[in-house]
């Protein structure tokens, strides 16, 4: 039976062997939620980029450019990190380059895996189905917050573990922790997260609607998969 493991932050990723496995990069608040939303709303492909300058350079090629640092849209960029930016009709058919504080790093650092896909609460069911079909070992790569553990990405890992429990081994300590935290939290994810300093920080930015959007499970039946340098919809 394949196994599912969870890496709580990119800092720990060098301790995980990704070869032969599928990496699921996740940054629930809000990078990967926005990426899933963008592809679900007709964005053609997404270039996840680490640096602001590299992201900006895509503008010349006709890309929409999106950038977030410390929770806020970076100056001059077309879009930020809110999933609501990717619901508009005018993203349809566009190509998107995006850089965020944590999420795009998690994707980049996962590249030694056989395959990198992108997960969020909004597509957790689609990710689970994709992984069941693939039948390979899985590592959930949490973006965390500036290198350390965060709760919301862990809850995604727990939600995914719950959906995979009949066909995957759940015996890694981090997976068990994520699974049990999700059991505690799932009846009221927002209430559970409301004591967290990270969510309190985001609430001070007045993005409660974003948070509620990002915590809704199974809004989209889309799995972004990394092909070369671009995220595209898996078929």
Binding interface with a copy of itself (CB under 8 A): 7-9, 11-12, 15-16, 145-151, 154, 170-174, 176-177, 180-181, 183-185, 195-198, 200
> Cβ of residue 16: shortest distance to a copy of itself, in angstroms?
8
CA distance 20 to 33: 26
Output 9 or 81, the one with its CB closest to a copy of itself. 9
Output 192 or 220, the one with its CB closest to a copy of itself. 192
> Cβ of residue 184: shortest distance to a copy of itself, in angstroms?
5
Phi, psi of 110, rounded to the nearest 5 degrees: -90, 0
> Cβ of residue 40: shortest distance to a copy of itself, in angstroms?
28
Residues contacting residue 22 through CB under 8 Å, at least 6 positions apart: 113, 114, 115, 116, 117, 131, 134, 136, 137, 138, 139
Residues contacting residue 234 through CB under 8 Å, at least 6 positions apart: 117, 130, 222, 223, 224, 225
Output 29 or 116, the one with its CB closest to a copy of itself. 29
Q: ω before 30 within 30° of 0 (cis)?
A: yes
Output 149 or 230, the one with its CB closest to a copy of itself. 149
> Cβ of residue 4: shortest distance to a copy of itself, in angstroms?
12
């Amino acid at each position: 039976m394949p196994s599912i493991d969870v890496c709580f932050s990119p800092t720990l990723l060098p301790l995980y062997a990704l070869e032969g496995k599928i990496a699921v990069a996740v940054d629930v608040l809000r990078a990967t939620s926005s990426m899933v939303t963008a592809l679900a709303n007709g964005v053609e492909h997404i270039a996840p980029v680490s640096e602001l300058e590299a992201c900006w350079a895509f503008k010349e090629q006709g890309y929409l450019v999106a950038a977030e640092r410390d929770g806020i849209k970076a100056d001059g960029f077309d879009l930020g990190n809110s999933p609501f930016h990717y619901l508009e009709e005018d993203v349809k058919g566009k190509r998107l380059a995006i850089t965020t504080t944590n999420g795009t790093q998690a994707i980049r650092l996962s590249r030694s895996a056989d395959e990198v896909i992108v997960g969020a609460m909004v597509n957790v069911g689609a990710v689970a189905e994709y992984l069941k079909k693939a039948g390979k070992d899985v590592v959930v790569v949490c973006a965390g917050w500036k290198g350390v553990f965060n709760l919301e990405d862990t809850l995604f890992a727990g939600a995914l573990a719950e959906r995979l429990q009949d066909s995957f081994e759940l015996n890694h300590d981090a997976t068990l922790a994520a699974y049990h935290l999700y059991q505690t939290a799932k009846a009221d994810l927002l209430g559970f997260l409301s004591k967290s300093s990270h969510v309190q920080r985001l609430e001070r930015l007045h993005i409660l609607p974003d948070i509620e959007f990002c915590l809704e499970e199974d809004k989209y039946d889309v799995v972004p998969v990394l092909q070369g340098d671009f995220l595209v919809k898996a078929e």
